[in-house]
Amino acid sequence: MKKCLVIAIFLFVLIPTLSGCSNGIKAVKEVNVYEMESFAEVKKDSLVTFTDEKAIKRFKKAFSSAKKQPGVVDMADPDYKVELGEKSFFLWLGQEYGTIMDVSDTNTIYSLSAKSVDKINDQLN
């Protein structure tokens, strides 16, 4: 009985820590993307909203599979702000790299895979 209790407690503690950036992006009906002037300023009339399921899946998969990078960061102004469900992320995107940062945790960044970078670039272009 004690073993089952210990295992259950371990799973309840471990599973949320393994979820990385995926918290809050499960039930998404639309993705809002804004071009950014700076961390605090959105470029005027830049909002693009994606409501089709294929686009939403691309963003969800890319962001939920991003890999946390070690250390505290000091980043340049972001290219985009992405609202994905209840969560908001800053996004830096180039041809060969992609980095996201949870707006509520600006000390941590996550790197997108090369495949995710390609798919997000295709979506935004």
Round to whole Å and give the CA distance between 6 and 15: 14
What angle, 0 to 180 degrees and rounded to 10, lies between the N-to-C axes of helices 53-64 and 114-124? Answer: 150
What is the per-residue DSSP string for 26-73? SS-S-EEEEEBSSSS-BPTT--EEE-SHHHHHHHHHHHHTPEEPSS--
Q: State the residue for tokens 């959105």.
A: 42
Q: Over the chain (125 residues), what is each successive 10-residue block's mean pLDDT?
A: 47 43 69 96 96 96 95 90 95 96 94 97 93
> Check: CATH 3.90.1300.10 for 2-124?
no
User: What is the predicted pLDDT for the residue at 124?
Assistant: 93
